[in-house]
């Protein structure tokens, strides 16, 4: 009653107090899982709640909120780099990378120490920048000078980078973060990462070609009247296409056959011929399909 009188008028308080509680008063408190219809927790419902929260954090950059945090995420998600690079940056900034420290908290590992140097707890910052092995990598990048000037957590460092870098620099920086994590994983799994300098060059080329490919392959909406048409009686439907990393390197082609009911029959995939452009490689895919049909 004292709390009610703080929020409501005397008249409203009396009205509220006159509401009968019925049999509820005889029930004991019990736990109720809000996200399930029956109020009972299940791993499945917990998973979906966690996923929604995670996706909510990911999509924060898309809102009209202009707080520094939201602007930062908006910059990250607007980067024109492959999604796997953006996702790695997001995981590192959100401290959900599978570092030794995080795995230790989850009781997966016995120690939070870095598996590579064994000298410090492996946080995202240590794994991606501070570990002796990571520093060796960064010293080969264009960012080795300025990286030491950045302070704080990994998220702080990346946020600073978003303020002081050009768009291209930020994309390359994100690519180096991704490569740093890749090299760290290769070391843990005793895989050979190759020559670091070449790996860095390839990463920059990868980002560059992604941007070009993105511009070239930006999807166009098909007009509504385009529909799949059944092939004539006793005929097959052949769908084929090509894929290429850059215009001068690896390319592939493939296709599949379907019957009149659009049911899958068989498919093919192989390397594309060198030196062909997009149209040439698509024609090669068609030729391959026709040869297979014959």
Task: List residues near Zn ion by CB under 5 A.
Answer: 114, 116-117, 131
Closest CB 65 distance from Zn ion, rounded Å = 37
C-alpha to C-alpha distances, 41 to 35, 38, 56, 97, nearest whole angstrom: 8, 9, 21, 27
CB atoms within 10 A of CB 22: 8
Closest CB 133 distance from Zn ion, rounded Å = 7
Strands ordered across the beta sheet of 237-244:
237-244, 251-258, 264-271
Beta carbon nearer to Zn ion, 99 or 281: 99
Beta carbon nearer to Zn ion, 91 or 116: 116
Query: Which residues are 72's β-sheet partners?
Result: none
Closest CB 126 distance from Zn ion, rounded Å = 6
Beta carbon nearer to Zn ion, 126 or 251: 126
- Locate all alpha helices (DSSP H) within 107-166, ordered by sequence: 124-125, 132-138, 144-147, 154-164
Nearest to 170 by CA among 294, 41, 259, 72: 72
Closest CB 139 distance from Zn ion, rounded Å = 15
Query: Which residues are 239's β-sheet partners?
Result: 256
Question: Are the C-beta atoms of residues 209 and 247 closer than 8 Å to each other?
Answer: no
Q: Which residue has the tokens 């005397």?
A: 10
Question: Are the C-beta atoms of residues 228 and 261 closer than 8 Å to each other?
Answer: no
CB atoms within 10 A of CB 151: 8
Nearest to 202 by CA among 186, 184, 178: 178
Beta carbon nearer to Zn ion, 117 or 256: 117
Beta carbon nearer to Zn ion, 94 or 115: 115
Beta carbon nearer to Zn ion, 5 or 185: 185
Closest CB 187 distance from Zn ion, rounded Å = 10
Closest CB 121 distance from Zn ion, rounded Å = 9
Beta carbon nearer to Zn ion, 128 or 131: 131
What are the φ and ψ backbone dihedral angles of 265, each rounded to 5 degrees?
A: -110, -55
d(CA 44, CA 28): 27
Q: Which residues contact 46 (CB under 8 A, 6 or more apart)?
A: 35
Closest CB 110 distance from Zn ion, rounded Å = 17
């Amino acid at each position: 009653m004292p709390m009610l009188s703080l929020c409501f008028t005397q008249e409203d308080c009396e009205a509220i107090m006159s509401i009968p509680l019925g049999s509820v008063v005889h029930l004991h408190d019990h736990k109720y899982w809000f996200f399930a219809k029956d109020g009972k927790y299940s791993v499945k419902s917990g998973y979906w709640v966690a996923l929604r929260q995670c996706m909510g954090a990911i999509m924060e950059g898309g809102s009209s909120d202009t707080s520094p945090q939201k602007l930062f995420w908006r910059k990250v998600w607007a980067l024109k780099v492959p999604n796997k690079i953006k996702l790695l940056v997001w995981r590192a900034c959100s401290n959900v990378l599978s570092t030794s420290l995080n795995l230790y908290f989850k009781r997966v590992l016995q120690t939070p120490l870095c598996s590579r140097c064994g000298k410090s707890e492996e946080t995202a910052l240590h794994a991606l920048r501070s570990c002796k092995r990571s520093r060796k990598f960064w010293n080969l990048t264009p960012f080795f000078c300025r990286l030491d000037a950045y302070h704080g957590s990994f998220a702080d460092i990346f946020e600073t980078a978003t303020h002081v870098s050009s768009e291209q620099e930020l994309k390359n920086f994100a690519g180096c973060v991704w490569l740093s994590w890749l090299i760290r994983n290769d070391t843990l799994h005793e895989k050979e990462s190759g020559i670091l300098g070449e790996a860095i060059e390839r990463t920059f080329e990868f980002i560059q070609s992604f941007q070009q490919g993105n511009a070239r392959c930006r999807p166009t909406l098909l007009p509504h009247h385009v529909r799949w048409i059944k092939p004539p009686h006793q005929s097959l439907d052949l769908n084929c296409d090509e894929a290429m990393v850059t215009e001068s390197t690896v390319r592939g082609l493939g296709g599949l056959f379907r019957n009149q009911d659009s049911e899958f029959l068989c498919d093919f995939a192989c390397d594309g011929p060198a030196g062909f452009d997009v149209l040439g490689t698509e024609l090669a895919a068609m030729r391959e399909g026709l040869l297979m049909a014959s």
